């Protein structure tokens, strides 16, 4: 990922890697990974800070990275049939967004805007492909987590849709 002027790269080097591993371990997505897998994953992540109001990505843009929220929150927005943006969810600490982009490479399905100052780790599609080549067991774990997450979201959305259709 080329750095966007609105995102600030936090740091690099071994001392920061240890700090990043601690951040990643505290997340819902990767909290149950063994420490050595977290260390391996952190070799492929970049950490950034972003201020409130920064757009991480826009609906319809080509996606090539996913984000892991370390601290802060991000609003997820969709345009309705009248091209009015509506907030459909908020993603906070320990959650991820943009996962589909590293799996299917399709355009973004929503817009993501920083709701309050946020620290996030980014896994690019290119780095995920490197993980698949270099660390296949780690890649499998990540894919299983993404599949489980997407399944949960689909189940929730189906439940909401059924409730909406009943009215």
pLDDT per position as a tens digit, 11-50: 766 778 888 999 899 888 898 999 999 999 999 999 999 9
- Asked whether residue 167 is assigned to any structural domain, the reply reads no
Please, which pLDDT band fits residue 69 given cuts at 50, 70 and 90? very high
Q: What is the pLDDT of residue 82?
A: 84
- Asked whether residue 2 is assigned to any structural domain, the reply reads no
Q: What is the pLDDT of residue 166?
A: 67
How confident is the model over 87-110, as a mean pLDDT?
Answer: 90
User: Following CA atoms 157, 162, 163, 167 in sequence, which dihedral angle do they give, to the nearest 10 degrees?
Assistant: 140
Q: Which CATH number fits the domain that encloses residue 104?
A: 2.60.120.10
Which tokens in the block code for residue 116? 């309050």
> 10 near 71, Cβ under 8 Å?
no
Q: Please state, in angstroms and rounded to a whole number, the distance separating the CA atoms of residues 161 and 167.
A: 10
Backbone angles phi, psi at 26, to 5 degrees: -85, 0
> 141 near 37, Cβ under 8 Å?
yes
How many domains does the chain fold into?
A: 1
- Give the residue from 87, 85, 88, 103 showing the smallest Cα distance to 149: 103
Q: What is the pLDDT of residue 2?
A: 47
pTM, entire model: 0.85
3-class secondary structure per residue, 79-144: ECCCCCEEEEEEEECCCEECHHHHHHCCECCCEEEEEEEEEEEEEEHHHHHHHHHHCHHHHHHHHH
Q: What is the pLDDT of residue 16?
A: 83
Checking if the pLDDT of 134 tops 90, the result is yes
Task: Name which residue leads in pLDDT, 11 or 7.
Answer: 7
Structural domain containing residue 79: 7-160
Checking if the pLDDT of 1 tops 60, the result is no
- Asked whether residue 165 is assigned to any structural domain, the reply reads no
- Asked whether residue 79 is assigned to any structural domain, the reply reads yes
pLDDT per position as a tens digit, 136-161: 999 999 999 988 878 876 777 776 66
Q: What is the pLDDT of residue 56?
A: 95
- Asked whether residue 166 is assigned to any structural domain, the reply reads no
Which tokens in the block code for residue 110? 């929503």
Q: What is the DSSP letter of 33?
A: S
């Amino acid at each position: 990922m080329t750095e966007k002027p609105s995102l600030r790269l936090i740091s690099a080097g071994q001392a920061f890697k240890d700090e990043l591993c601690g951040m990643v371990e505290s997340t819902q997505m990767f909290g149950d990974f063994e420490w050595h897998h977290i260390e391996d994953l952190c070799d492929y992540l970049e950490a950034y800070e972003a201020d409130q109001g920064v757009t991480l990505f826009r609906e319809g843009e080509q996606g090539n990275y996913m984000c892991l929220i370390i601290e802060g929150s991000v609003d997820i927005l969709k345009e309705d049939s009248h091209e009015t943006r509506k907030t459909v969810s908020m993603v906070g600490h320990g959650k991820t967004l943009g996962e589909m982009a590293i799996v299917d490479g399709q355009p973004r399905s929503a817009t993501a805007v920083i709701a309050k100052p946020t620290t996030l780790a980014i896994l690019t599609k290119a780095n995920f492909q490197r993980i698949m080549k270099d660390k296949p067991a780690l890649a499998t774990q990540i894919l299983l987590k993404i599949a489980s997450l997407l399944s949960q979201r689909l189940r929730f959305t189906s439940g909401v849709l059924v409730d909406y259709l009943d009215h």
